[in-house]
Amino acid sequence: MKPPAATRADPRSLRPRQSRVRLWLPAILLLAAACEDPPDMSDDTQRLDQPAPRPVRVIEARLFETPERLRLPGALRARERAELAFLHPGYLAERHVQLGQAVSAGELLATLHNPTLQPGVASAQARVNEARTRFEQLEIDSRREASLVERQLISDDQLEQTRTRRDAARAALEQAEAALSEARGQLAEASLRAPFDGRIARFIIEPGDFAAAGRPVMAISAGGSLEAEIVLPAEIDPNRISALRLIRLEDGRTSAAEITGRGEAAPAQPRPVIVAPASAPDESWQPGDAVHVELEVEARARVAVPLAALIDPGTGITRLFRVRDGEAQRVAVETGRLGGGWVAVYGDIAAGDRIVTAGQALLLDGEAVRVIE
């Protein structure tokens, strides 16, 4: 009897098992991957969150010690000058001089018409005449009664009464004479006279115009000494001015000058200063000439930064950036004089501070920076 033949497996019976293996294999791989530790991404995340430091160029602030030179505009004028006015109101009746005419001290310049001045003098004169007549009559009466008292024809009391009336009349006469003197003085003030030798500089009102009391009528100036008034900036001390000269704009001629007067200025306000030629200039220098007053101010150490470092965002407040410990610090400053591309600044800036001169356009306060050499 033959042994049974080996049974051959049907290939179709193996297909379900192979399919199940192929389905489970990806799941096992995903589970193994999930069980592993995730990679460390903190460094990369941190690098993405923090931007790289902004590159900038810097230069150190330094002291600014160059002398400061200024040119201020002015005009020459006579040192001795006056604007003349009447002490009483009225109408300008007549002008006795011409513009630019040379006049002497005491010369009649103009006459004022005031209808109350002339009658006032006449009235005061009448009161003086009346008071004098009364006094003279009582003086005669007192002498006559004195002789009668000696002959015992009248009593002493009557004589004393007459003398008392005489003394009162004398006081009234003195008072009337004082009033007459005042009236004559007022009438004299209706005549405008030159206070010193000079020339008529300008007319302010015309004949027929009403002249209020104290209102200038004309101006007079004396020849010779000249001066000019300028206004110094508040930060300049007149004591620090080391050189001074006048430059005439008409022809560029110069003259050494000196300060002859200083006004007082309120805080942060300009100071008026009077400047005069150090020696008498020739006759070509005349009042009214336009000049420049050139000043040289002694150097004073100020912290200065390059002009390129300043930022003005349109708010009127100038700023700059200073680099410390790898960070940009924004500092508000005020600017001063300029020279050689550097500008003096006033604020929390010291010599030696590293000031950003390039790359500050989009820089923020406190932002990390990288200095480019």
pLDDT above 80: residue 174? yes
Model pLDDT for residues 14-32, shown as the tens digit of each residue = 444 444 445 444 554 445 4
Structure-block tokens of residue 310:
């300043």
> Left (φ > 0), alpha (ψ -120 to 50) or beta: where does 341 sit?
left
pLDDT of residue 220: 92
- Work out the average pLDDT over 99-105: 90
* DSSP code string of 44-111: HHHHHHSPPPEEEEEEE-EEE-PPEEEEEEEEEEESSEEEEE-SS-EEEEEE---TT-EE-TT-EEEE
Secondary structure letter of residue 368 according to DSSP: B
Per-residue pLDDT at 276 exceeds 60: yes
CATH of region 115-187, choose from 1.10.287, 1.20.144, 2.40.50, 3.10.590: 1.10.287
- The pLDDT confidence band at residue 98, using thresholds 50, 70 and 90, is very high
The per-residue pLDDT for range 336-370, each reduced to its tens digit, is 777 778 888 888 888 889 999 988 888 888 889 88
Query: Could you tell me what percent of the chain has a pLDDT over 90?
Result: 10
pLDDT of residue 219: 92
- Are 115 and 241 contacting, i.e. CB atoms less than 8 angstroms apart? no
- The dotted CATH code for 69-79+225-297 is 2.40.30.170
Write down the mean pLDDT value for the chain: 80
Q: Which amino acid would we find at residue 119?
A: P
When mean pLDDT is compared across 206-210, 252-256, 261-265, 302-306, the lowest value belongs to: 261-265
| Residues 264/253, Cβ–Cβ less than 8 Å | no
pLDDT tens, position by position, 64-96: 776 677 888 989 888 888 999 988 888 888 899
Categorize the per-residue pLDDT at 292 as very low, low, confident or very high, splitting at 50, 70 and 90: very high
Residue-wise pLDDT for 119-161, tens only, equals 777 788 888 888 888 888 888 888 888 888 788 787 888 888 8
Question: Burial, 165: exposed, middle or buried (Cβ in 10 Å; 0-12, 13-18, 19+)?
Answer: middle
Question: Which residues have CB under 8 Å from 239's CB, separation 6+?
Answer: none
The answer to whether residue 267 scores a pLDDT higher than 60 is: yes
Q: What is the pLDDT of residue 27?
A: 52
Residue keyed to tokens 């200025």: 265
The two structure tokens encoding residue 299: 């150097």
Taking the CA atoms of residue 324, residue 329, residue 335 and residue 339 in that order, the dihedral angle to the nearest 10 degrees is 40
φ, ψ of residue 164 to 5 degrees: the values are -65, -45
The pTM of the full predicted model, rounded to 2 decimals, is: 0.49
Domain boundary assignment for the chain: 54-65+301-371, 69-79+225-297, 85-113+190-223, 115-187
The reported pLDDT for the residue numbered 248 is 92
CB neighbour class for 322 (10 Å; exposed up to 12, middle 13-18, buried from 19):
buried
Fold of domain 85-113+190-223: OB fold (Dihydrolipoamide Acetyltransferase, E2P) (2.40.50)
pLDDT at 34 over 70: no
Answer yes or no: same fold for 69-79+225-297 and 115-187: no
**The pLDDT value given to residue 70:** 81
Residue 216 near residue 204 (C-beta atoms within 8 A)? yes
Topology, domain 54-65+301-371? 2.40.420
